[in-house]
Structure 1
Amino acid sequence: MTKLRIGVVGLGGIAQKAYLPILSHAADWQLVGGFSPNRQKAQPLCDSYRMACFSRLDELAQQCDAVFVHSSTASHFSVVKSLLEQGVHVYVDKPLAETLEQGEQLLELAQARGKALMVGFNRRFAPLYGQLQQQMRQPASIRMDKHRADSVGPNLLRFTLLDDYLHVVDTALWLAGGDGKLLGGRLSANDAGEMLYAEHHFRCGETMVTTSMHRQAGSQRESVQAVTRGAVYQLDDMRQWRREDRDGVLEQPAPGWQTTLAQRGFEGAARHFIQSVANQTPPQTGGEQALYAQRMIEQILREADLPGNPM
């Protein structure tokens, strides 16, 4: 069986920290090469991973079956559109595109070309989050917090919502079973239009969902608490699991052998995409799931009570 040929577009921080370490350990695929507009910076990195450094996007596409896109959000629409038109399957960092309209166009194009298009919501593939979703019985409430120590600016509110808060909304609503309805919340920004705090409340069937993010909380932490029938769960930083029920308290740290990339779902997400392409099956975060949380972010922005409502 011929191995899938994999390429990478965008060789910055997220590619270097999360994806190249995974993709370079090729088993059922071949890491062909990478493309970045900055050839001077890209060449040494490609050399270190013993892969080709392409000077043009179309040249990379011609040599690949699937491509991981880690370029800027502003470039997603043009890059993903070009790759799909050249017959390549695409995995792209969230959000799918800067606007819902662009995202919808990309989904339609992927469907028309018969190509997989997956958005990298890595937390859906974090083992402890998956374990929580499977074990919960009739959750009454789910709360997810993702706070930053000191990360106000330099980007504007909309960018931060789509770049970071989107993860919180997507993961919390996914844990609750999806199909959420926004009930209300709070969104605050400073005079420069940079996000300070967000908290929102949703209803998913019989489950109440709360999402929260503070950009200057003095602590870099992520946690999920679920109150369910028969048990209360607490998960911290995708590494610590705590379940409390009538039999007592069960605490379960992540396995010592498990890598951080596996704990945080990057490894599971990348392998899921490659397997989807190989088996010709739809990826979990493709189709409408790719835009589900982004639609919620747009609604949050529309309903925000902010001076000038900076959309």
Structure 2
Amino acid sequence: MSKLRIGVVGLGGIAQKAYLPLLSQATDWQLVGGFSPNQQKAKLICDSYRMACFSQLDSLAQQCDAVFVHSSTASHFEVVGELLKHGVHVYVDKPLAETAEQGEQLVALADKCGKALMVGFNRRFAPLYRQLKQQMQLPASIRMDKHRADSVGPNDLSFTLLDDYLHVVDTALWLGSGAGNLLSGSLRANDSGEMLYAEHHFACGETLVTTSMHRRAGSQRESVQAVTDGAVYQVNDMRQWLREDRQGVIEQPVPGWQSTLAQRGFAGAVQHFIQAVGNQTRPDTAGEQALYAQRLLEKMLRDAG
């Protein structure tokens, strides 16, 4: 059986920090090449990873079975659509598209073309978050905070919600194991329309879920706390695990061999997509799973006026 041929579209920060280091460690696949409109920059990056630099998106698509898309959100609808029409499986950074309506069109197109379309919610593949989801019993409440030391602006509230807060809402509701009914919430922006703070409350069956993000909290902290029947769990920055019950507090050390990309779920997400394509199975974060949190964010914006 021939190896899966993989390409990359968009060679910016997230591609260089997370995906290219993983994809270049090719085992069951072949990293064919990359494409970016900035050809001068693209050639330097492609040369450093010893892969071909393509000058046209369709030329890359013709040489690949699957493509990872890390271009701007504004380009997702056009780029993902073109790749699917060329018969290519697609992994794309969240959000799937600028609007849920565009995302729905891409999901329908992927189904029509019979191709896998996965959105990169890497936190769903973070080992400690997956362990928490598996171990906690009858959670009464789950709270997820993801703050920024000083990251107000320069983009508007809508952009920041889709670019960053979407991770929080998606992960928290996934941990809550169900569709979340939005109970209440607050969005605060400055006079320039830039996000300052967001907090929202959901009901996932019997579990109450809270999400929170402050853009100038003086801290880069990300944490999840779950209060369950018999234990309280705390996961900090996807690398510290605490469990407290009647016997005391247990702290689980991070395996010394585990890389940061594995801790943060990027390695797991890449492997999951490649296996889904190879096995012709549906990725976990496809279709409705990929769009549910985005629809909620659009509702939050409408409710906030």
Normalised to the residue count of structure 1, the TM-score between the two structures is 0.98
Task: Find the aligned partners of 2:277 and 2:224 in 1 and give their Cα distance.
Answer: 32
Q: CA deviation at 1:256?
A: 1.4
Q: How does 1:240-259 map to 2 (within 5 A)?
A: 240-259=240-259
* 1:44 alignment counterpart: 44
Is the counterpart of residue 302 in structure 1 residue 279 in structure 2?
no
* 2:238 alignment counterpart: 238
Task: Find the aligned partners of 2:40 and 2:234 in 1 and give their Cα distance.
Answer: 46
Task: Find the aligned partners of 2:284 and 2:45 in 1 and give their Cα distance.
Answer: 31
Task: Find the aligned partners of 1:254 and 1:290 in 2 and give their Cα distance.
Answer: 29
Task: Find the aligned partners of 1:299 and 1:183 in 2 and give their Cα distance.
Answer: 12
* 1:194 alignment counterpart: 194
Q: CA deviation at 1:257?
A: 1.1
- Structure 2 unmatched ranges of 5 or more: none
Amino acid paired to 2:226: A
* 2:224 alignment counterpart: 224
Cα distance per residue 1:149-172 (max 9 Å; x no partner): 000000000000000000000000
Is the counterpart of residue 70 in structure 1 residue 70 in structure 2?
yes
* 1:175 alignment counterpart: 175
Amino acid paired to 1:136: M
* 1:113 alignment counterpart: 113
Cα distance per residue 1:69-88 (max 9 Å; x no partner): 00000000000000000000
Task: Find the aligned partners of 1:22 and 1:114 in 2 and give their Cα distance.
Answer: 26
* 2:145 alignment counterpart: 145
Amino acid paired to 1:160: T
* 2:185 alignment counterpart: 185
Residue identity (%): 80
Task: Find the aligned partners of 1:177 and 1:296 in 2 and give their Cα distance.
Answer: 16
* 2:211 alignment counterpart: 211
Task: Find the aligned partners of 2:123 and 2:266 in 1 and give their Cα distance.
Answer: 8
Task: Find the aligned partners of 1:169 and 1:147 in 2 and give their Cα distance.
Answer: 13
SS of residue in 2 equivalent to 1:291: helix
Q: CA deviation at 1:282?
A: 0.2
Amino acid paired to 1:57: L
Question: What is the CA RMSD across the aligned residues, in angstroms?
Answer: 0.5
* 1:100 alignment counterpart: 100
* Misfit runs of 4+, over 6 Å: none
SS of residue in 1 equivalent to 2:18: helix
Q: CA deviation at 1:299?
A: 1.0
* 1:265 alignment counterpart: 265
SS of residue in 2 equivalent to 1:278: helix
SS of residue in 1 equivalent to 2:15: helix
* 1:90 alignment counterpart: 90
* 2:15 alignment counterpart: 15
Question: How many residues are treated as equivalent by the alignment?
Answer: 305
Q: CA deviation at 1:125?
A: 0.1
Task: Find the aligned partners of 1:42 and 1:24 in 2 and give their Cα distance.
Answer: 16
Task: Find the aligned partners of 1:99 and 1:249 in 2 and give their Cα distance.
Answer: 44
* 1:58 alignment counterpart: 58
Amino acid paired to 2:105: Q
SS of residue in 1 equivalent to 2:42: helix
Q: How does 1:123-142 map to 2 (within 5 A)?
A: 123-142=123-142
Q: CA deviation at 1:178?
A: 2.1
- Structure 1 unmatched ranges of 5 or more: none
Q: CA deviation at 1:287?
A: 1.2
* 1:282 alignment counterpart: 282
SS of residue in 2 equivalent to 1:242: strand
Amino acid paired to 1:113: C
Task: Find the aligned partners of 1:156 and 1:104 in 2 and give their Cα distance.
Answer: 24
Cα distance per residue 1:242-273 (max 9 Å; x no partner): 00011111101221110000000000001100
Normalised to the residue count of structure 2, the TM-score between the two structures is 0.99
